[in-house]
């Protein structure tokens, strides 16, 4: 059985969707994220002032991540809270990022999300082409990324 942490360990980035007080959506990539228990996703705010501002106005968020090889992932919805460095739990929670961060980024805030719903997501190929499976999707992804690398070198 996969835990949420197992799934998120396969993601290079996750995407946090928030909504402003005026109802304007915002989606931004997050590089540092860890689970604390099974239902608390912690995201380090290293460069996302709009996400923080939006969460302070509206705590409802959605986080998605996908394995770039299998093209499968998760969509999680829940309520977020912004922890500032002055919050009593900030130092302890910030330590959870040390392995991934390795001192590269300053953690400005911690976005703590209480996960309420989880849904598996996958590339449309899985739905529309019977022959699609993880192995074929991985091969297609490798080919596409290889082509992109060749194009970048040219």
Does a structural domain hold residue 141?
Answer: no
Does a structural domain hold residue 53?
Answer: yes
**d(C-alpha 99, C-alpha 123), whole Å:** 30
Domain at 13, CATH number: 2.30.110.10
DSSP labels, 65-107: EE-TTT-EEEEEEEEEEEEPTTSTTHHHHHHTTHHHHTTSS--
Report how far apart, in Å, the C-alpha atoms of 114 and of each of 7, 14, 58, 86, 140 are: 17, 16, 14, 20, 35
Q: Kindly report, residue by residue over 27-42, the tens digit of the pLDDT.
A: 999 999 998 888 899 9
Does a structural domain hold residue 108?
Answer: yes
Does a structural domain hold residue 97?
Answer: yes
Range of the domain at 85: 4-122
Does a structural domain hold residue 143?
Answer: no
Containing 6, the helix (H) or strand (E) segment is helix 4-8
Report pLDDT for 39.
85
DSSP 131: T
Does a structural domain hold residue 142?
Answer: no
pLDDT for residue 4 is more than 60? yes
- Give me the number of domains the chain comprises: 1
**Is 26 in contact with 17 (CB distance < 8 Å)?**
yes
Does a structural domain hold residue 148?
Answer: no
pLDDT for residue 119 is more than 80? yes
pLDDT for residue 25 is more than 60? yes
Radius of gyration of the chain (CA): 17
Does a structural domain hold residue 151?
Answer: no
Report pLDDT for 135.
87
Report pLDDT for 149.
75
Report pLDDT for 2.
65
This prediction's pTM: 0.86
């Amino acid at each position: 059985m996969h835990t949420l942490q197992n799934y998120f360990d396969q993601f290079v980035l996750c995407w946090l969707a928030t909504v402003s007080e005026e109802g304007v959506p915002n989606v931004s990539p997050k590089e540092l994220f860890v689970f604390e228990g099974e239902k608390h996703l912690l995201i380090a705010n290293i460069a996302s002032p709009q996400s923080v501002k939006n969460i302070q106005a509206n705590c409802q968020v959605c986080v998605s991540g996908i394995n770039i090889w299998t093209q499968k992932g998760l969509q999680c919805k829940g309520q977020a809270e912004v922890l500032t460095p002055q919050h009593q739990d900030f130092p302890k929670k910030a330590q959870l990022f040390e392995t991934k961060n390795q001192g590269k980024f300053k953690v400005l805030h911690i976005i703590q999300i209480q996960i309420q719903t989880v849904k598996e997501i996958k590339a449309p190929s899985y739905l529309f082409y019977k022959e699609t499976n993880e192995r074929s999707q991985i091969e297609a992804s490798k080919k596409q990324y290889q082509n992109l690398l060749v194009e970048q070198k040219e």
